Amino acid sequence: MRSSQFFMPTMKETPAEAQIVSHRLMLRAGMIKQASAGIYSWLPLGFKVLKKIEQIVREEQDAIGCQEVLMPTIQPADLWRESGRYEDYGKEMLRITDRHEREMLYGPTNEEMITDIFRTHVKSYRELPKLLYHIQWKFRDEVRPRFGVMRGREFLMKDAYSFDLDFAGAKRAYNKMFVSYLRTYARMGLKAIPMAADSGPIGGDLSHEFIILAKTGESAVYCHRDLVEFDMLKTEIDHEGDLQPIVDRWTSLYAATDEKHDAATFEKIPADKRVNERGIEVGHIFYFGTKYSAPMKAQVGGQTGDPVTLHMGSYGIGVSRLVGAVIEASHDEAGIIWPESVAPFRIGLVNLKVGDAACDAVASDLYARCLAAKVEVLYDDRDDRPGPKLADMDLIGLPWQIVVGPRGVKSGVVEIKNRKTGEKVELAPEQAFNKLTARA
């Protein structure tokens, strides 16, 4: 994509309403535009990152046998009355009346909807277990929406649901999700730590939230350093085998947010193994047994012919929230530093002197080569001063930059910059292309 054609309204100044790093940088990089309090339009650069994150989430859900569906954003109030949550949920639920005076709501979550789908179509124990998920927009009418996409009213969420005959089956599903979440965050370059959590309005008696470490995080985190050093992507996993040893490895060491922190227990950890930092919640998993299946009569015929009430769990990942969370965990004074797996483009190609025949020729050739190799590249071909072009490239945080300038071209070289480390090297254009495409 050429910058001259790409819609990316960057800003030099930080809007006054932006209170945290991710909100400031997303606005300045032209990733989002606020439509209303806590509601945002996703512009091309932001939308590309959102889709990259969504795809990683999808791939890891598919890997554990979770099947994708798509449920509506608007739900009938009667379903929520069946579960008993319609009145209990509070003002965060946006309640709607349609033209026929039917009470509806904009879904903040989907336990009732998926339970209704399942009870309608599944009648026998032979059809269990099942894992279903969807990635859909949600709405919760936060009293104080703030921090950009980190705490908005409208947000994109992956929510999954498990259906099993008993607790043992439900625990296997829970463990699958637990491991899947660890891999999901690791693939995004994030260090996520599972911590025992309260279930809140979802309900249930087994729950973990997944926290990533970030200096600008919303809550204090206390944990054993080994949890930060575990490498989930190097762990061999058989999703159909016994995952309990992996779960035990992650849950046997101390980890707590400030709400559940036990100072006495934390002090027993060797001083060099204690981690006390800030963290951001990026996912939450719950087992809640028959909390929804019992009142909504979601049953199947068991092996003896008697009805069995299903055991359920739900598993959420804030997909749009993750965009902000990655930025909070990976940025510097100049702007965003995207991990390669979620970057909107892999390479930023900068022509410092558009109109110069030699610079145009080298830059155009590199751009054409990247397109032919299917390497995502943003080619800054704008007729602008070098300073603003380089500043924009640092701001949007693409992993690699290739800078083409008249002085380098005269010497037969271009400059490669690693955005994360700041390391710069000069290579011949052919070598630069081979170096970066070999890593793609």
Task: Show the tokens assigned to 374.
Answer: 């299917």
Does 308 share its domain with 399?
no
Cβ atoms 30, 296 nearer than 8 A: no
Over residues 102-158, the pLDDT tens digits come to 999 999 999 999 999 999 999 999 999 999 999 999 999 998 898 999 999 999 999
Does 149 share its domain with 261?
yes
What confidence score (pLDDT) does residue 55 get?
98
In a domain, 285, yes or no: yes
In a domain, 269, yes or no: yes
Which of 284, 312, 336 represents a domain boundary (last residue)?
336
In a domain, 342, yes or no: no
What confidence score (pLDDT) does residue 202 get?
47
The number of distinct structural domains making up the chain is 2
Does 330 share its domain with 359?
no
Whichever domain contains 43, its CATH number is 3.30.930.10
What confidence score (pLDDT) does residue 205 get?
59
Q: Mean pLDDT throughout 369-377?
A: 97
Cβ atoms 247, 178 nearer than 8 A: yes
Whichever domain contains 364, its CATH number is 3.40.50.800
Q: Mean pLDDT throughout 239-245?
A: 95
Q: Mean pLDDT throughout 256-277?
A: 93
What confidence score (pLDDT) does residue 370 get?
97
- pLDDT exceeding 90 applies to what percent of the chain? 90
End-to-end Cα spacing for the chain: 17
Q: Mean pLDDT throughout 169-180?
A: 97
The Cα 261–Cα 102 span in angstroms is 46
For residue 248, pLDDT beyond 60: yes
Over residues 190-203, the pLDDT tens digits come to 999 999 876 555 44
Does 261 share its domain with 372?
no
Domain that holds residue 362: 347-438
What confidence score (pLDDT) does residue 439 get?
62
Does 332 share its domain with 378?
no
Does 269 share its domain with 367?
no
Confidence of residue 219 (pLDDT cuts 50, 70, 90): confident
For residue 16, pLDDT beyond 90: no
Does 46 share its domain with 189?
yes
